[in-house]
């Protein structure tokens, strides 16, 4: 039988016993020989061949901190595919690390219920001037004061050079050295938990980056049966796939067990090709369930999914893959079209406010209808999936950074519309996510940047980025992704917090998030206890939600003119809870403090008013 995965400990790569011995395990099914080379000496130790393509060694000649590589067939030297550290970059030797050397102090951290998450997506390199984990720790009190209770960190798997979004990582077990490495990440998680903040880590299991990708030298990690937009697909169902599947299952378990990560966000799982009887996501969930039963700690799996397919988020007992939640881009697209009128590319599928109303009601906008952009019927209905299974946002790294100039919403819409879009997200019956800096209307863009050291690859990326936006040629050149200026321009400007109108926007977000967290109706993510009415002519939307006898009505005007709306039936007058048009938020005019049911009222342009 194939060796089963041990959920209690890491087994691949180099791991140390309590007695200080290094246990080395490498999967290389097609090699004739493999040896461990300890850098800085003449130590070359052959590994023993085991069943199913594994090679093993137990030795006291490799210590924590040592650099090492593997000799493959006595011909080439390569880093460890399960390396925990690459201090000299993707082409250099691996470093042996004892993960148990940093003690945990978060034993009483329970993780938060998923339904309570208020997510904040950040990129380690551009979130702070320093661009590392230690600097994130310095901002945690700020995030607490904002109301955020879960940070979502873009990928940290080792990538080439010091600048990258993270989706070009080539060592899924190694933490980026320029960010602070594995021990820096552990320290950040410990500090987050002490301050009551959950940690979500973005991981990439649909492809590997090109530079420093030596996996083919070890074994058939990839298959030419399928392609992804980023190259060859990872081999989850072809010959020799068992070793590949184990590799990624162990990666998930490592983040949860050894780094105490609270949730993983799995990038673009629609690009994972797997026709096995048990899909790799389902197998991952089964092992995570085993781990949680063993440790008593709660962990979540959140997927980015460009498919309106509940099979991914339905529980295992319903033959689903068991993912806990998914990003729901369609809410963003409907909101963006409503706010801006933009209808190029994939936005062409969205009519605006009618589709936004449908997103509030049904989560998926397309749940079986014909999609003109895809030229086919698309999606199925999400009838029984609760609101906490859908993550919504007004912007994220993709929706900002995949624009030619990387403009944030702050550069595309008015101050008033920014507040309205924030309100539209935070009053939804779904999990809200902010993108770093949006809460103070950060004007800097978030552009696409890389730091490849291979000149040919760097030039190919430049040309590809220019070609991608060739139809924008009248609007200027796409920024050079290799330029450090592109990276520096993408950093947040923390000094803006001392200036207006950024202070006011931040206070508005703080108030809005507090209202969502504290009001029983907004906190309760029932998709059944709501009604939504859209008026396409007026560009107004009335969202009515209720729970346990309490009611909230959210009035939204996406037009540039005042509009008259009527509040739904209610026992007694509606009391105002929040008004984005109030002068305290730099708005033009405050709405009435109380409004009677069925009474028409004037709604200011580009505003949201919440009554309860």
Chain centroid to Cα 358, Å, comes to 24
Query: How far, in Å, are 122, 161, 164, 252, 332 from residue 155 at the CA level?
Result: 10, 14, 9, 13, 22
396 in a labelled binding site: no
Please list, in sequence order, all residues whose beta carbon lies within 8 angstroms of the beta carbon of residue 372, skipping any fewer than 6 positions away: 348, 349
- The answer on whether 329 is annotated among ligand-binding residues is yes
Residue 531 annotated as binding site: no
Which of 250, 198, 430 shows the shortest CA–CA distance to 332? 430
Contact 204, 155 (CB under 8 A): yes
Q: Does 355 appear as a known binding residue? A: no
Burial 467-504 (b: 16+ CB within 10 A, else e): eebeeeeeeeebbbbbbeebbebbbbeeebeeeeebeb
Q: Is 331 annotated as a binding residue?
A: yes
Distance CA 176, CA 156 (A): 5
Residue 393 Rama label (left phi>0; alpha psi -120 to 50; beta): beta
Q: Is 398 annotated as a binding residue?
A: yes
385: three-class secondary structure by DSSP: coil
SS3 175: strand
> Is 400 annotated as contributing to ligand binding?
yes
| Conformation bin of residue 162: beta by default, left when phi > 0, alpha when psi is -120 to 50 | alpha
556 φ, ψ (degrees, to nearest 5): -125, 130
**Residue 401 assigned to a binding site:** yes
Alpha carbons 397 and 419: distance in angstroms, whole number: 19
- Please tell me whether 402 is known to bind a ligand: yes
Is residue 397 marked as binding? Answer: yes
What CA–CA distance (Å, rounded) separates 514 from 152? 20
Q: What is the Cα–Cα distance from 434 to 259, expressed in whole angstroms?
A: 24
Q: How far apart are CA 263 and CA 321, in angstroms?
A: 16
Strand partners, 78: 70
| Residue 108 φ then ψ, to 5° | -95, 10
**Is residue 457 helix, strand or coil?**
helix
Quickly tell me which residue has 């309590």 as its tokens: 18
Q: For residue 397, give both structure tokens.
A: 């790294």
Give the CA distances from residue 569 to residues 318, 388, 398, 552, 596, in Å, rounded to whole numbers and listed in that order: 39, 28, 40, 11, 9
Find tokens 């209610």 and name the residue.
570
Beta carbons within 10 angstroms of residue 35's beta carbon: 18
Burial of 329 (0-12, 13-18, 19+ CB in 10 A): buried
Cβ-based neighbours of 504, under 8 Å, separated by 6 or more: 585, 586
Q: Give CA 422 to chain center in angstroms.
A: 19
Rounded CA-CA distance 262/292 in Å is 11
On whether 265 is known to bind a ligand per the annotation, the reply is: yes
Q: Give the DSSP letter of residue 436.
A: T
Going by the DSSP 8-state scheme, the letter that residue 374 receives in this structure is T
Q: Residue 173, annotated ligand binder? A: no
Residue 270 annotated as binding?
Answer: yes
Give the CA count within 13 Å in the CB-facing half-sphere of 535: 15
Active site residues: 267, 304
User: Beta strand pairing status for 231-234 and 222-228?
Assistant: antiparallel
* Phi then psi dihedrals of residue 326, to 5 deg: -140, 150
> Is 333 annotated as belonging to a binding site?
yes
Cβ atoms of 127 and 492 within 8 Å: the answer is yes
Annotated binding site: 265-270, 329-333, 397-402
Q: List residues forming the annotated binding site for substrate.
A: 265-270, 329-333, 397-402
């Amino acid at each position: 039988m194939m060796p089963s995965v041990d959920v209690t400990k890491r087994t691949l790569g180099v791991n140390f016993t309590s007695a200080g011995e290094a246990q080395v395990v490498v999967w290389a099914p097609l090699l004739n020989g493999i040896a461990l080379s300890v850098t800085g000496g003449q130590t070359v130790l052959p590994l023993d061949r085991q069943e199913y393509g594994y090679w093993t060694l137990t030795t006291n000649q490799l210590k924590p901190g040592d650099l090492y590589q593997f000799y493959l067939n006595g011909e080439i030297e390569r880093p460890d595919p399960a390396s925990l550290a690459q201090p000299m970059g993707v082409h250099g030797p691996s470093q042996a690390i004892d993960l148990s050397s940093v003690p945990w102090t978060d034993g009483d951290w329970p993780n938060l219920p998923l339904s309570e998450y208020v997510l904040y997506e950040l990129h380690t390199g551009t979130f702070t001037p320093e661009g590392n984990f230690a600097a994130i720790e310095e901002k945690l009190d700020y995030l607490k004061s904002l109301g955020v209770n879960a940070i979502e960190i873009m990928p940290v798997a080792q990538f080439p050079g010091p600048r990258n979004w993270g989706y070009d990582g080539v060592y899924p077990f190694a933490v980026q050295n320029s960010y602070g490495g594995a021990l820096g990440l552990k320290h950040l998680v410990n500090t987050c938990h002490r301050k009551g903040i959950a940690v979500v880590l973005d991981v990439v299991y649909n492809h590997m980056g090109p530079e420093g990708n030596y996996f083919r030298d070890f074994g058939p990690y990839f298959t030419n049966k399928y392609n992804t937009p980023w190259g060859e697909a990872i081999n989850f169902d072809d010959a020799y796939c068992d070793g590949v599947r184990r590799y990624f299952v162990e990666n998930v378990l490592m983040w949860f067990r050894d780094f105490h990560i609270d949730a993983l966000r799995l990038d673009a799982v629609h690009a994972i090709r797997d026709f096995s009887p048990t899909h790799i996501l389902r197998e991952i969930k089964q092992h995570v369930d085993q781990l949680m039963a063993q440790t008593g700690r709660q962990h979540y799996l959140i997927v980015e999914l460009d498919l309106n397919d509940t099979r991914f988020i339905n529980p295992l007992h319903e033959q689903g893959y068991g993912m806990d939640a998914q990003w729901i881009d369609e809410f963003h697209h409907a909101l963006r079209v409503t706010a801006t009128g933009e209808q190029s590319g994939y936005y062409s599928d969205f009519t605006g406010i009618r589709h936004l109303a449908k997103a509030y009601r049904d989560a998926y906008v397309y749940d079986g209808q014909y999609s003109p952009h895809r030229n086919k019927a698309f999606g199925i209905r999400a009838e029984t999936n609760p609101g906490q299974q859908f993550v919504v946002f007004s912007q994220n790294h993709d929706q900002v950074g995949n624009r030619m100039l990387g403009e944030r919403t702050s550069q595309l819409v008015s101050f008033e519309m920014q507040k309205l879009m924030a309100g539209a997200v935070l009053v939804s019956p779904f999990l809200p996510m902010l993108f770093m800096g949006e809460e103070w209307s950060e004007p800097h863009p978030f552009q696409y940047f890389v730091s490849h050291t291979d000149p040919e690859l760097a030039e190919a990326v430049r040309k590809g980025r220019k070609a991608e936006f060739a139809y924008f040629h009248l609007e200027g050149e796409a920024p050079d992704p290799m330029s450090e200026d592109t990276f520096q321009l993408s950093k947040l400007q923390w000094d803006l917090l001392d200036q207006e109108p950024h202070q006011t926007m931040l206070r508005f977000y703080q108030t809005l998030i507090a209202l969502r967290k504290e009001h029983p109706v907004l906190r309760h993510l029932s998709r059944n206890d709501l009604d939504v009415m859209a008026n396409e002519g007026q560009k107004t939307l009335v969202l009515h939600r209720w729970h346990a006898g309490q009611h909230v009505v959210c009035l939204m005007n996406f037009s540039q003119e005042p509009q008259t709306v009527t509040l739904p039936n209610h026992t007694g007058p509606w009391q105002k809870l929040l008004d984005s048009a109030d002068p305290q938020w730099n708005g033009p005019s405050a709405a009435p403090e109380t409004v009677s049911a069925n009474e028409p009222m004037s709604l200011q342009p580009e505003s949201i008013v919440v009554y309860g």
